[in-house]
Structure formats: C-alpha cells, structure tokens
Structure 1
Amino acid sequence: MLLGRLKALHDLAPLILRLVLGLIFIVHGHQKLFGEMDKFIGTVTGRLGMPMFMAYVAAFSEFGGGILLVLGLFTRWAALFISGVMVVAITKIHWHQGLVKGYEFPLSLLAGAITLMILGGGWMSVDKTLVKKEW
C-alpha cells in the first residue's frame, strides 16, 4: 500500500535530488568563491599541482552548477561538470583518507550527479519547459 503510493510520486525524485545537490554545491562553491578562494587556489596549485585556473573552474562549476540544478536548467550539463569536480576531489584529495571520513561524501555527491545526468531535470524543471519532451 505505502510502496504503491510512493511509486505514484516517482516523478518528484529528480526535483528532490536537484534541490538537495544544488543547495550543497551552491554553499560549497560560494564558500570557495567568496570566502576561501586563496586557500583553495593554494590547494589546487600546491598540493594538487594543477594550474590556478582549475581552482576557478571547480569553484564556478560548484556554484554555477548548483544554481542550475536548483532551477533545473541545463541539468545534465551542470551534473556533468559537477561530476568532473567530484572525480577530481575523490581521486586527488580524499582517496588517501579511505571511504569513511574520506571520500564517502564526495562519492555520494558524484552518485547523485550521475543520477541527474541519466534522469535529467524531470518534469518540474526549466529544462522541461524549454525542451517540451516527455519525462
């Protein structure tokens, strides 16, 4: 009975996932862009050995991608860029710490982003109004 009712609400899943992931990435991107950018640049250039512009790519991908996810605008593209940032975060920053208290959170975010790449923004998204196709 309960599972049958939940199945009727399956179209809400992309919306819930978009809003939660979007909020998380807006907060983390904002923190980098408007608070600790110098520290983040130091991590990217020093510890990771990447060029400085990659710090901006990551921060804008998180902040801008989060906004796009909340709106459901270019959802698959936003999720793709966020997935790239999470792959780098997992492999270059968190991997050596192990799963627990290491890469478990970025891995969860990556799974959510990949899910949105597959599902798209859903019927309650700006994408839906722009593309006009069945979800």
Structure 2
Amino acid sequence: MPLRYLDRLQPLALLILRVVLGVIMIGHGYSKVFGGLPEHVHHVSNLGLPGWLAYLSAGAEFFGGMLVIAGLFTRIASLAILINMSVAIWKVHWKNGLLGQNGYQFPLSLAAIAFALILFGAGPIALDGVRRGGGARAKKD
C-alpha cells in the first residue's frame, strides 16, 4: 500500500494527541484549581451531583492534563479525563444537541481522544516507557 510509510509516524501522532488533549485540559482545569474552585463546586452541586466531585473534576482536568502531556500514567489519566468529559456531556451539554450553542461536540472530541489514548497508550515518546524501564528505544524490539 502506498501510504504504508505513514505507520512510522504513529509515535508522533500519539504525541500530538497527548499534547492537544493535555493543553486543553490544563487550560480548563487551571481556572478551577487556581481560584475558581468554589464556583466549580457550586456549579457541580447545581447539576445534582455531590460537590466533592468538583475537586475530582478539577484534578482530572489540570493534573490529568499534565500527566497526559508527559506520557506518564497516560491510560489512567486518560480514563479520568474520559469520565470527566462523559459527565460533562451528560449533565451539561446533551440538552443542547451535538452542534447547538454549548453543544456536546467539543467534550465529545476530547472524550474520543482520551479513549484513543486508553486503547493505544502514550506511545514510545513518553515517560511511561521510561517508567517501565524502556523508553523510545525499547519499543523497537
């Protein structure tokens, strides 16, 4: 197949997915963790969920985003992000439709990226490989 050479770019593709997801999640979590946590607790409580879930949500966004970028505990961090985005779709965005004002297309896209990272892992350009005693070179065996 003529495009078979693109398979060699899979590590780069996983890195790009991680960086995009991580930067977006850090951006959303930063405002909550550093100053907006009381408002987030109030918002989560108004959705009919326990207020303490706001702390988990903010942590999943901010710290999960950092872990995903670093490629450290990527599958666990991506699972936390996937759950966070699923709840956001269910409790906040679903009623607005896929493409409506404040629709669920954006959190659905983030959830899809998180799901892909759960399935494929961080790839060889990540700290997960180093943590397991390998790294990028160990993946070439």
TM-score by length of 2: 0.88
Distance 1:104 1:39 in 2: 24
Q: Which residue of 2 aligns with 1:16?
A: 16
Shift of 1:3: 3.5
Distance 2:93 2:57 in 1: 16
Where 2:52 maps in the other structure, the secondary structure is: helix
Q: Which residue of 2 aligns with 1:51?
A: 50
Opposite residue 29 of structure 2, the aligned amino acid is G
> Which deviations, in whole Å up to 9, do the C-alpha atoms of 1:17-62 show, x marking residues without a partner?
001100000110001111322221111012x111211000000011
Percent identical: 46
Distance 1:124 1:8 in 2: 13
Where 1:134 maps in the other structure, the secondary structure is: helix
> Which deviations, in whole Å up to 9, do the C-alpha atoms of 1:5-27 show, x marking residues without a partner?
53331221111100110000011
Distance 2:68 2:2 in 1: 29
Kindly report the root-mean-square deviation, in angstroms, between the aligned alpha carbons of the 2 structures: 1.8
Q: Which residue of 2 aligns with 1:116?
A: 117
Q: How does 1:1-135 map to 2 (within 5 A)?
A: 3-46=3-46, 48-100=47-99, 101=101, 102-131=103-132, 132=134, 134=139
Opposite residue 54 of structure 1, the aligned amino acid is L
Unaligned runs of 5+ in 1: none
Distance 1:15 1:2 in 2: 24
Distance 1:103 1:16 in 2: 22
Distance 1:7 1:77 in 2: 25
TM-score by length of 1: 0.91
Distance 1:128 1:104 in 2: 32
